């Protein structure tokens, strides 16, 4: 994928996420990007409809899913980790991250994040299917939704807004996600399309996974710049929520307004 294609697709994907996260507050941004956002939303919804008809989990095998060859965007079926509301901590190690649609690699500082696993029950509570959007040529995915036993991928479904929140009291209680924006220069973690190990023990009855993410790695290989801000649900139930901005939060960066 060429750099300008990556940039356009990234911005469209981020705007789709922002629409769900911020609602009316993002209307001005959306108006400037209607054509790209509508196109990507339509493609994502088409793939969701196609993949949900298979009714087959991706655990332990290669599921049926529809892949957009130009971007690698795919609808994966089955359980996955959702890291949008998680804070992270550096491990002191490096993590190998795919770039340029999987054609090259780069090493980033690694972070570790505990993220809720989205189960069929949680999906049903949110009125959606147990599917999620992946970029199978990004992060450390291997071109498909298949994963190793005892692991899940960290993915995203815009319809999941009620799920276990790390910042709730007690931790990982079921709460509505509470989005906020961290200031320019926030050092965050990109967990989307990264592998997670399912935790042996539940937290407050919630199934969780430990995800290994890339610090300041922008989605689709986009470089994170000093003047980028970051939107996240991490710390949504802290007082104040901004406390999480200094805890390597997941998930998406926003470029400054032109």
Q: How many CB atoms lie within 10 A of CB 16?
A: 21
Residues 222-233 have pLDDT tens digits of 889 989 999 999
Residue 13 scores a pLDDT above 60: no
Domain locations in the chain as residue ranges: 3-254
On the question of pLDDT at 211 being above 80, the answer is yes
Mean pLDDT of the chain: 80
pLDDT reported for residue 251 = 78
Per-residue pLDDT band at 2 (split at 50, 70, 90): very low
This prediction's pTM: 0.78
The predicted pLDDT at position 245 comes to 97
pLDDT, average across residues 4-15: 41
C-alpha 220: how far from chain center: 12
- Split at pLDDT 50, 70, 90, the class of 202 is very high
Q: What is the band of 65 on the pLDDT scale with cuts at 50, 70, 90?
A: low
- Cβ-in-10-Å burial (0-12, 13-18, 19+) of 173 comes to middle
């Amino acid at each position: 994928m060429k750099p300008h294609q990556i940039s356009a697709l990234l911005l469209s994907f981020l705007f789709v996420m922002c629409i769900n996260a911020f609602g009316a507050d993002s209307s001005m941004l959306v108006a400037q990007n209607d054509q790209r956002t509508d196109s990507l939303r339509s493609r994502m919804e088409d793939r969701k409809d196609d993949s949900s008809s298979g009714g087959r989990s991706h655990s332990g095998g290669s599921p049926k899913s529809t892949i957009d060859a130009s971007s690698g965007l795919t609808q994966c079926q089955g359980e996955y980790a959702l890291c949008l509301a998680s804070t992270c901590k550096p491990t002191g190690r490096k993590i190998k991250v795919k770039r340029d649609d999987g054609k090259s690699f780069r090493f980033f500082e690694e972070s570790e994040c505990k993220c809720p696993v989205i189960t069929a029950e949680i999906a049903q509570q949110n009125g959606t299917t147990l599917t999620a959007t992946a970029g199978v040529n990004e992060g450390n995915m291997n071109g498909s939704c298949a994963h190793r036993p005892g692991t899940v991928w960290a993915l995203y479904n815009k319809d999941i807004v009620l799920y276990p929140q790390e910042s709730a009291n007690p931790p990982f209680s079921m709460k509505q996600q509470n989005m906020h924006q961290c200031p320019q220069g926030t050092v965050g973690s990109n967990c989307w399309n990264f592998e997670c190990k399912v935790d042996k023990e539940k937290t407050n009855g919630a199934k969780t996974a430990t995800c290994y993410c890339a610090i300041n790695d922008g989605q689709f290989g986009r470089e994170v710049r000093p003047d980028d801000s970051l939107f996240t649900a991490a710390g949504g139930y802290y007082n104040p929520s901004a406390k999480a901005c200094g805890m390597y939060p997941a998930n998406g960066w926003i470029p400054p307004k032109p």
